[in-house]
Structure 1
Amino acid sequence: MSASLIFDCAPLGSLVAYSDGTPKPPARFTKKLAAWERNNGVGRLVRKEPGRERPTYSSPPCFTLHEGDFSSGGIILVMVTRTYGIDSDLRFRVVERPKVGQVRVLQNVGDNVELLHLANNREAAELWLAKAGYARARLDEVTADEVGADAVEGRAAA
């Protein structure tokens, strides 16, 4: 599916795979494998940003996938995210949607909302929030109505 469908249909917290359609090269070709891995992977949808019009430039709507963290001693040193415009040539697919009962920890960033964490339940979300210390974060539970609305309206992105 296209990047614009992910932007329109996939809810925050969805696990999204992306690919350029080329086969994975053998491990012995380390440079080719590294290049292939830049265009083929999986990440959690953490942000959607509408397009912007400025006097000197314009940017299309885009979304950001969180691909992982590099940590040492329990402290995250580097967070790996990638942002894709809706005009991306890559192919995307929703691998997993948030389940009913899971809780999103969200924070407003400007006019947009960013997913900080996806917990299995409210208790786990509150515990994560207490440890992480985000002062302006809020909890948002995934409801059956939200999941059901995607199926009834035909918006399923998977």
Structure 2
Amino acid sequence: MTQPPNPGQPFYQQQPSAPSAPASGQPYPPQQQFQGAPGAPSAPGAPGAPGQPFAQAPSGESLVASLFDTSKEFVTKYSRIVFIVASIAVGLGWLGTGYMGGKMGAVASALSDPRNYDGSTFDGLSFVLSLLFSAPAFLTVLFIIRLFIELVSNSSKTSQQA
């Protein structure tokens, strides 16, 4: 019971029982290099076809992919974004401190004269003074964040040169 050959499939005659002996008058059939489906990743560590390199992995340009990829310079690529996010967070914290200073100033003035406090007052002078006196602390935090980013950036450059 033989099946008819599929169209487009090459036909090879039956080989003799010994795999090393060619059929009478027939050379060995040409070896085919079977490739996976296009876009399918090859197994890492498996030898590739002779003369053909491994398929390149798709480039992961996301923040999370670069975080776990130690071959890329994560700091040089994302240090600006990290500093901008940290600056926004520190700035919001500074404004929050000023707001709380304004609310506490209103509460302090209400303690001296409880009849004028309705719960929704805000002391603008306390707000400005709170911002003014907390500015050095928040600027120091920004300086330390920037210093840390620079230290990591310089250490990653020297470790790649070594």
TM-score range (shorter-chain normalised) is under 0.3
Larger fraction in strand: 1
The structure, 1 or 2, with the larger RCO (C-alpha pairs under 8 Å, 6+ apart) is: 1
Question: TM-score, normalization: structure 1?
Answer: 0.22
Q: Highest CA radius of gyration, 1 or 2? A: 2
